Amino acid sequence: MTVSRPAMAIYWTGSCGGCEVAFLNLDEALLGIGRDWELSFCPCLLDTKRADLEAMADGSIAVTLLNGCLRSGENLEMARLLRLKSRLLVAFGSCADGGGVPALANEASAAQLLSRICDTAADAVPGQRGDDGTFSPELPAPSPLLPRVHAVAELVDVDYVIPGCPPEPDRLLDAIRTLGMSPLPPRGTVLGCTSRSVCDDCPREKRNHRPQRLVRSCAIIPEEGWCLLEQGIACMGMATRGGCGALCPTVHAPCTGCYGTLDPDAVPVAASLSALSAAVLPDIPHPADDRTVRELYRAALSAVADPLGTLCRYDGARNLAGGTGQSGADRG
């Protein structure tokens, strides 16, 4: 008797492909996944095309892992098509969860981005230059850029999230196993992470020290074993969901927050700024008015040369959309 396996799809929209690499990094565990699931649509790994997906019955895919942000009309079309064909749609990786690194582009309008690209690489972009010098790129339909980068859940219903840039393979495997179980966790659960922060898993010692100001990470050689933030390096571990095992601080690099903001209801940039502000203690004279205190804190944080990239490198789309609303209480 042949037992049919539930179908799984993996697809990328505005993505670097690193999340697919994380899937391949499951190594021999892929054999178990192949036993339990039928990979029915994954253009990165299988010769499967959009027409194959369109031919599938609605709801015939048990689980789709969708990685990447929504940047173009084509991204949105594919996300909607996968939603239609899938019983569960999972935002896989930080680009799908919060817009990821591509959402840093929300600093500029789509028109400004196109104009910059066309001005600097006009020879490489098909299009027409008008008499007034303006360039109109010819982009394949339906690819015109959306006005901004979106996290998947902003435009398409999402059932679960697996965070990380990319998700750690072991946690990804845990999450895939959870998706194959019955009963499933409550809809909206963030899988493959913990309900604690990266700091909770970090082996570096906290000494209850608050530096007077932050420093550029290239400006000092941090003391081995001591919390990087307490040495003045902008490490985002306290504001970031745990799950990676504090990978970066363990190898002497500050956490940049790729597992997303710990508080699901917070506006990411505000949560990170608040955490960094609480970590420093500038020398404040007494008495001091509010304006003086603000200026001293501004100076203490001024070593952050790239504020947006430091404070919300991975979930910038949520600064515009608000928090995720996903419960932090039921993480798988």
List residues binding ligand SF4 (CB under 6 A). 15-16, 18-19, 67-68, 93-95, 100-101, 165-166, 198-199, 202, 204, 206, 227-229, 235, 237-238, 240, 244, 246-249, 255-259
Closest distance to ligand SF4 from the beta carbon of 320 (Å): 18
Nearer to ligand SF4, 18 or 264 (CB): 18
| Residue in this structure with the two tokens 């042949």, named with its chain if needed | 2
Nearer to ligand SF4, 62 or 95 (CB): 95
Residue 86 β-bridge partners? 61
Q: How far apart are CA 199 and CA 280, in angstroms?
A: 16
Nearer to ligand SF4, 37 or 237 (CB): 237
Closest distance to ligand SF4 from the beta carbon of 64 (Å): 15
| Residue in this structure with the two tokens 């084509």, named with its chain if needed | 74
Residue 12 β-bridge partners? 67
Query: How far, rounded to the nearest angstrom, does the alpha carbon of residue 187 sit from its chain's CA centroid?
Result: 19
Nearer to ligand SF4, 53 or 202 (CB): 202
Nearer to ligand SF4, 166 or 332 (CB): 166
Q: What is the CB-side half-sphere exposure of residue 237 using CA atoms within 13 A?
A: 26
Closest distance to ligand SF4 from the beta carbon of 158 (Å): 15
Quote the tokens at residue 45.
């790994």
Nearer to ligand SF4, 60 or 274 (CB): 274
Contact indicator for 214, 234 with CB cutoff of 8 Å: yes
Question: E-strand spans in the chain?
Answer: 7-12, 38-41, 61-67, 70-72, 86-92, 127-129, 135-137, 145-150, 160-162
Single-letter amino acid code for the residue at 92: F
Closest distance to ligand SF4 from the beta carbon of 100 (Å): 4
Among 206, 210, 256, 220, smallest CA distance to 235 is for 256
Closest distance to ligand SF4 from the beta carbon of 180 (Å): 22
Closest distance to ligand SF4 from the beta carbon of 255 (Å): 3
